[in-house]
Amino acid sequence: MRLRVGARTDTGRIRPQNEDAFMSQAEQGLFVVCDGMGGAPAGEVASEMAIQAIARRLTGTDTGEDSTSPFLPHTTRLLDAVRQSNEFIYGEAQKDPRQTGMGTTVVSAWIREHIAGVAHVGDSRAYLWHNDRLEPLTRDHSLMEAHIEAGLADEGRKLPVEQQNVLLRVLGREPAVEVDVTEVPVQSGDYVLLCSDGLTRMVSEEDLAKAIQMFQEPQQICDHLIATANQNGGADNITVVVVEVTGGWWHRLINGVGSHLRRTLARDSMRVSPLNDPRPH
Amino acid sequence: MSKLTLQYEGIVLKDHAVGSGLTIGRLPDNAMIIDNPAVSGHHARVFLEGHQVILEDLRSTNGTFVNGRPITRHVLQHGDEVLVGKHSIVFDQNAVEPQPVSGPPLESLGDTVYLDTKQHRALRATLESARADAAKSINARPATPVTTAPPRVGILRVVAGRSEQDQYDLGAHTSLIGRSDTALVRLRGWFKPSVAVAIARSGNGYVATPLGGKTLVNDERLEGRRILQDGDMLNVSGLILQFGWKDGVPAESAA
């Protein structure tokens, strides 16, 4: 397995500063996007702190496995790192009055041996592009999403503008936070996309899908998506990390030949099957 | 060109071109086969009438639903979600572009706000009661039961080949088969793939995804994701395993 990566962050067209932060470490397969809140400098500080805390925890020595975890060891470690980063930011915020009230979202993916462990808090999102289709891997911890989950989608959409930005969970605001975790197998040809809400509020999921399909190259996808978000208003900071899962060169070669053969064979053996007799059983 | 996309618990299983029409059912003579006891042998059919695509229920045992309503005959509209047993089939009128999951709102934004725990609890209570009311009054989706029963646990029984155990419980979210240290079922030998297959929980079932080497399910090459059924035979790079349910829990209660 090989990962090709693109990443970019942009202040957007309205906000005075960029409170988003990201980390993209293709070698380790580790990717994080954070969207800070609480106003300058606290928001910037919180998102950067979260990234640093997670990186420290994961690049340090393994603190021992939690054998009760239903997830693979690397996913469990990622979950632990996100929880730790919450404690860290909360602790720092208590120490410095200028930073009280700072918080940040986080969406993180650690891809090892074809399994992406994903942990998130807040409304930064992860998507999987698989089989020419975009699948959400996360669910926002937002007031809007809570309405949708409660079966009140229409009321969620009708929320006044000021309530559309209400988050129900963030890092750094409480001594402990509930972190959502999932795991998904990734195959060659799949893409994992992490982003802040500055992207998803400005660009539809349909257009995210189109960008992946059209550009294929991770950095080009990021650049295009950020340009589109800015064209559509750029109301918030925008961060996108795109990870393409590919095989090794020999794997790609074999697969290329294989899929060519399969296509040829499929063409030769293709026949139109008549409509089945539609009788009830 | 219009198409139908078969999904289970939000996972896309297969696209079917509508073409001149197709039948949907459990038996192998259907164009769209849904191998699940909740689905009748010949459950429904889709055919063209002029420019319209018609969906017709073939007097199935458990019925056919479109966007939550039972139908006997229905003119399919772009985006319609057809429910057959627990599987959903989404109708796409012009299947050229990828399907959006949903459209985001494009209002201007204020600053992001966070609700503290106390506010959050109060809000959650309001939403919970609203959810309960909605469930009582609408009774909308028949095939999404709100059960809180613990999910069934699947197992892999070793039928043939070298392995450390005779049987493996699929208790984790993701169970791997391969040479890797993290694999539940360890494959031995230099040329075995590090990770051959991932078996992941999905709703109340399990989905197998091939990641390396050669894997067969019931003698068919595993190419994409596949929901495992009770009794499925897996051949993972030579190791033969049978999927089943722990404690012999019956596969499905429906039909």
Q: Is B214 on the interface with A (CB under 8 A)?
A: no
What parts of chain B have a pLDDT lower than 50? 96-109, 138-147, 253-255
| pLDDT score, position B154 | 95
Task: Among A155, A275, A279, pick the best mutation site for testing chain B contact (most B Cβ within 10 A).
Answer: A275
A62 SS3 class: coil
| pLDDT score, position A275 | 40
Q: Chain A: residue nearest B111 by CA?
A: A165
Confidence of residue A164 (pLDDT cuts 50, 70, 90): confident
Confidence of residue A267 (pLDDT cuts 50, 70, 90): low
* Under 8 Å between Cβ of B154 and B228: yes
Contacts with B55 from chain A: Cβ below 8 Å:
none
| pLDDT score, position A63 | 63
A24 SS3 class: strand
Residues β-bridged to residue A159: none
Q: Rounded to two decimals, what is the model's pTM?
A: 0.70
Q: Is A262 on the interface with B (CB under 8 A)?
A: no
ipTM at complex level: 0.80
The 3-state secondary structure of chain B reads: CCEEEEEECCEEEEEEECCCEEEEECCCCCCEECCCCCCCCCCEEEEEECCEEEEEECCCCCCEEECCEEECEEECCCCCEEEECCEEEEEECCCCCCCCCCCCCCCCCCCCEECCHHHHHHHHHHHHHHHHHHHHHHCCCCCCCCCCCCCCCEEEEEEECCCCCCEEEECCCEEEEECCCCCCEECCCCCCCCCCEEEEEECCEEEEEECCCCEEECCEECCCCEECCCCCEEEECCEEEEEEEHHHCCCCCCC
Q: Is B117 on the interface with A (CB under 8 A)?
A: yes
Q: Which residues make Cβ contacts (< 8 Å) with residue B167, sequence separation at least 6? A: B155, B156, B157, B158
Confidence of residue A250 (pLDDT cuts 50, 70, 90): low
Q: Is B33 on the interface with A (CB under 8 A)?
A: no
Q: Decide the pairing of beta strands B3-8 and B87-92.
A: antiparallel
Q: Which positions 36-65 of A are in contact with B (Cβ < 8 Å)? A: 37, 39
Higher pLDDT, A161 or A244: A244
Which single residue is written with the structure tokens 């959006």?
B100
| pLDDT score, position B29 | 83
Q: Within 10 A of B197 (CB to CB), how many other CB atoms are there? A: 28
Q: Chain A: residue nearest B119 by CA?
A: A168
Cα atoms in the Cβ-side hemisphere of radius 13 Å centred on A93: 27
Question: Which member of B20, B41, B100 has the closest CB to residue A204?
Answer: B100
| pLDDT score, position B199 | 97
Q: How far is CA B86 from the centre of its chain?
A: 8
Question: Which member of B22, B58, B200 has the closest CB to residue A183?
Answer: B200
pLDDT tens readout for residues A188-237: 999 999 999 999 999 999 999 999 999 999 999 999 999 999 999 998 99
